[in-house]
Amino acid sequence: MNGIPKVAAVVGPTATGKSELAIELARRFDGEIISCDSMQIYKDMNIGTAKLPPRSRKRIAHHMIDIIEPEMQFSCSDYAAGASEAADSVISRGRIPIFCGGTGLYLDSVISPDRYPEQKADPRLRRTLESFSDEELVSQLRNYDPASADTIDLKNRRRVIRALELYFQTGITKSEWDARSKKLPPKYNAIKLGLDYPDRKTLYDKIDARVDRMFEEGLADEAKKLYKRELSATARQAIGYKELFYCLESGEPPENAKDAVRQATRRYAKRQLTWFRRDPDVIWLDAGAPDLVEQAAGTVEEFLGD
């Protein structure tokens, strides 16, 4: 990949120490961190999204954290544009962008972006599609683009509508655009380090401990303040907050949400692992290894020296 800028990424499920490793790598290789976490983009959602405290982030420049209010809508394409701009700026200063986070779709949107054509908004088409039920939308997608219907989350109404819009506006299916994109070179040459524990129980114990800390640090109070605001649909579904919002609505004590938050976080971690395990380019490291930093640094050093 001669001529393609090099970047590093630290990925994997929640509670594996990605942020700490990314900071150490940024120190060693004169890097700056670009978050690829779909919830850390929101201001005022701190404890539940496991943001590092500001004092920790001051040591190394961080990008794509606290960039919008939680009332605002934000898409993957919005992220791709902002993160690419941040990465290009870091590279222009002679430094190394280090992506860090567990939202695989966000990372992929930057490293190997889908080259969809620029389209003008078509409010009439959008209104028409919005008028259909979920079942009708899925039926249309299966009819016009069965390949996409087999790969995207059909419960995600927004993504189904987006795929149909792409077809109706261009006459070419999303699956065909995806196939064309794969033939193009990636925007960045990335080394991806994946963190996980050999024993799944260890990961779940780490998740449980993190949830306990969040409640001790005031997650319930943070959720109570956010509950009074007109949050976007995405922000309102954030793990930790969603379960506490239910308690606020039902009059249950916040402690009753703790088990639900643990279970939701475990399920999310499994989905993260499924996503990243599909990527053959991820180099997996034991998150609990005593020499983790040295292993990671050695791998990055070799990559940068090629």
**Secondary structure string (H, E, C) spanning 81-133:** HHHHHHHHHHHHCCCEEEEECCCHHHHHHHHCCCCCCCCCCCHHHHHHHHCCC
Question: Could you tell me if 72 and 137 are in contact, meaning their C-beta atoms sit under 8 angstroms apart?
Answer: no
The angle that helices 292-305 and 18-29 make with each other, rounded to 10 degrees, is 50
Q: Which two tokens stand for residue 117?
A: 């054509």
pLDDT at 253: 95
pLDDT at 121: 75
50-74 burial, b at 16+ Cβ within 10 Å, e below that, comes to: bbbeeeebeebebbbbbbeebeeeb
- The Cα diameter of the chain in Å comes to 60
pLDDT at 113: 66
Domain ranges within the chain, ordered by starting residue:
6-114+184-305, 123-182
The whole-model pTM stands at: 0.82
CATH of 123-182, one of 1.10.20.140, 1.10.630.10, 3.40.640.10, 1.10.238.10: 1.10.20.140
pLDDT tens digit sequence for 50-82 = 999 888 888 899 999 999 999 998 888 889 999
Same fold, 6-114+184-305 and 123-182: no
Describe the chain by its helix, strand, coil percentages, rounded to 5.
55, 10, 35
The whole-number mean pLDDT for each consecutive block of 10 residues of the chain, a chain of 306 residues, reads 88 97 97 97 97 87 97 89 96 97 92 68 89 94 92 88 90 83 81 97 98 97 96 94 96 96 97 94 97 98 92
6-114+184-305 sits in which CATH class? alpha beta
pLDDT at 118: 61
Length of the chain: 306
